[in-house]
Amino acid sequence: MKDIKTIKLSKSEPGQTDAGKSGMAYTMGCLATIFQTDDGDFGYCYHGVGYGGNAFESEDEAGFASAKEAEQDARSNYQAMPGD
């Protein structure tokens, strides 16, 4: 699998940082990485930081004929997070 690009889908860039004694600070957000499979088709995977500061990663969605098609599908299926 070869990563093609990563796109930001949410308003905020997701992130987690150490906040010292208070624990972890986080920014909720979602990215999608567009990739090419070893078979030559294209796909995407959502990942980021969700409610409560928990990192997440979706299952891969693949089988697209082009990176552009995979990106369009990722954008059209993205469901905005609360506060986004």
For the segment 10-42, what is each residue's pLDDT rounded down to a tens digit?
A: 999 998 887 788 777 889 999 999 999 999 999
Q: Is residue 82 part of a domain?
A: no
pLDDT tens per residue, range 69-83: 999 999 999 987 666
Q: Is residue 39 part of a domain?
A: yes
**Can you give the pLDDT at residue 82?**
66
The whole model's pTM is what? 0.87
pLDDT of 84 above 70: no
Q: Is residue 50 part of a domain?
A: yes
Closest C-alpha among 84, 83, 61, 82 to residue 73: 61
Provide the number of structural domains found in the chain.
1
Q: Is residue 80 part of a domain?
A: no
Q: Is residue 11 part of a domain?
A: yes
Q: Is residue 40 part of a domain?
A: yes
Q: Which domain holds residue 48?
A: 2-74
Helices (H), the chain: 67-77
Q: What is the mean pLDDT of residues 57-68?
A: 97
